[in-house]
Structures are given as C-alpha cells and as structure tokens.
C-alpha cells in the first residue's frame, strides 16, 4: 500500500469541494431525490438503489457526499415495503437515469454527460442496479453489500461488460450476501473487497424497521470508508482520472479493506442451501 492511496482515501472520505443542491424527482414523475453540485456541465451521474425496508432518506449522507465530489446522485424512492419487486426497482433506476440525462436539472445550469453514467445500490438495490445494467449499458456498476434478488443478479452478470465494484462486510458468507457469486459471474472486469468490521447494513442511516431486533445498526466508520472508496472508484471509471486508478485495481492494497479472490472464495465456501431447500426444511420441522 502506497502512502498516496492512504492519503487519497482519507481525503475522499470527507466532503468534496462542491456546494450541494437537492431536487425532487417527483416533478418529473418519478418519486425520489437528486443531489448535485450547484453548477456544472457534462457531469457524471450515479443512480442509486436503496436496500430492503429502507428509502432514499437512509442514504442522504452518501448521496450528498457523491454530489460534493462533482457527481449527480439520484435515487428513486419506491419499493420500500416488506415485499418489494426487484424488477420494478430496476425499472425505476432506468427511469431515473433517463431523467438525469434527458432533463435539464436545477435552473438549467446543470447537465449530465450521456457516457459518464453508473448504476449503484445497496443490498437488494445493488441487485436491482445489476438488473438495470443488464438492460442499459453504463460505464460502471457499484454493488454495495449486495443481497440476492429475483431474478438473480448472477444470472445476468455474465453478459455485463461494464466494470464492477463490489463491496461486502465481515458477513460475506451469510445467506443475505451474494457478493462472491456475483463477482465470480461478472462478465467485465471486477473488484471485490470486504470492508473491515463492516456489516451488511452498516451504511444505512437512521432508524429502520429491523432496528428493534438489533439489526441494521448504522456504522459511521463503515459509511465513511465506503463513501471514499466509491468516490475513488467512480472518479477513475467515469472521469478517467488516473490519480484514482488504485481504487479500480484488483491487486491494490487499500486501508480498511481486504481484497477477495471470488473464484478462490467460491471454491472454499460450503454450498449454501437454496431457498427451496430452506422451505422444505421448514416444512419438515412443522410435521
């Protein structure tokens, strides 16, 4: 690990130089929010999908952070219930991307470059981002602590040529995380990292429905690290800034993270039971 990478991550984990403005996607017919620098032409855009039982308000710091570093960060605020449609969320991500590229934002002083686009998401939103990327090519995909979706993101990943940045926590081997299989199936170049001492829902801000059960606790350190990693990766992939190449390098050592070889990890981990097998087991116990 070079001192420059450590310094870059530290810098990127703090707010960037741009003043941030917020807008309402509902004006264009899509429930959701958009954060952007106060002004700028041909900006890069990131469309973000939220996790299960969460909404865009639970990712305000992350979206504002991206905007402070020069990105238009937009997120649909739909499929928030206990039985969400991953396909519908993916469709809303696509609609949100169309709004970002087709509608002049703000007072007309903001515009998005049609080739500097990325899908990103957390949990089920990461899977929805993959589904969306399979339907519309983008310059990059960022899957933060991805969880299984229907249809499965892995079944679509092999046909996606865009580079992928996949993050997981210390619970990478749990049934709620498919980061390893997603990275192994990815068709384009990919980087898989775990974040030290992070759990699956550590980047989710505020109260959530599962908080009373001891789950989904917000981890400020995890959130800061993820923000810095995401800005570095997207700055390299969308803007071509070579200063941040280390964040897209599958062999680079970066503080607070560990690289994971998905093929080796997939070969080493025990086979996970399928949903059908789990259902059959439950039915057996009930007899």
Task: Convert the pLDDT of each residue in 194-205 to its tens digit.
Answer: 999 999 999 999
Q: Which pLDDT score, from 0 to 100, does residue 103 have?
A: 79
pLDDT of residue 286 exceeding 90, the answer is no
In whole angstroms, how far apart are CA 264 and each of 14, 65, 180, 181, 199?
34, 34, 9, 11, 22
Task: Convert the pLDDT of each residue in 105-154 to its tens digit.
Answer: 766 778 999 999 999 999 999 999 999 999 999 999 999 999 999 999 99
Residue 2 confidence class, pLDDT cut points 50, 70, 90: low
250 vs 266: which has the higher pLDDT: 250
Q: Which pLDDT score, from 0 to 100, does residue 279 have?
A: 46
Please give the domain boundaries of the chain with CATH numbers for all domains: 3-286 (3.40.50.1820)
Task: Convert the pLDDT of each residue in 61-115 to its tens digit.
Answer: 999 999 999 999 999 999 999 999 999 999 999 999 999 998 777 667 789 999 9
In whole angstroms, how far apart are CA 79 and each of 93, 128, 142, 226?
11, 11, 20, 24
Indicate the pTM of the whole model: 0.90
């Amino acid at each position: 690990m070079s001192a420059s990478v450590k310094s870059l991550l530290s810098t990127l984990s703090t707010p960037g130089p741009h003043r941030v403005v917020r807008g309402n996607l509902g004006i264009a017919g899509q429930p959701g929010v958009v954060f952007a620098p106060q002004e700028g032409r041909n900006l890069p855009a990131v469309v973000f999908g939220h996790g299960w039982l969460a909404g865009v308000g639970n990712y305000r710091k992350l979206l504002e952070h991206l905007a402070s570093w020069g990105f238009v960060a937009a997120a649909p605020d739909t499929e928030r219930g206990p039985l969400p449609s991953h396909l519908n969320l993916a469709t809303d991500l696509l609609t949100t991307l169309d709004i970002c590229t087709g509608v002049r934002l703000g007072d007309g002083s903001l515009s998005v470059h049609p080739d500097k686009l990325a899908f990103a998401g957390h949990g089920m939103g990461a899977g929805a981002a993959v589904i969306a990327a399979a339907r519309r090519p983008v310059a990059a995909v960022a899957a933060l602590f991805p969880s299984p979706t229907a249809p499965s993101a892995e079944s679509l990943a092999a046909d996606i040529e865009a580079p992928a940045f996949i993050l997981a926590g210390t619970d990478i081997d749990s049934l709620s995380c498919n980061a390893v299989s997603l990275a192994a199936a990815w068709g384009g170049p990919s980087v898989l990292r775990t974040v030290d001492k992070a759990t699956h829902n550590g980047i989710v801000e505020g109260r959530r429905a599962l908080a009373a059960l001891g789950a989904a606790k917000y981890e400020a350190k995890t959130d800061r690290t993820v923000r810095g990693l995401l800005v570095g990766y997207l700055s390299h992939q969308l803007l071509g800034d070579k200063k941040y190449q280390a964040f897209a390098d599958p062999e680079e050592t970066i503080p607070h993270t560990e690289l994971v070889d998905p093929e080796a990890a997939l070969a080493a981990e025990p086979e996970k039971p399928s949903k059908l097998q789990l259902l059959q087991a439950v039915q057996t116990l009930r007899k």
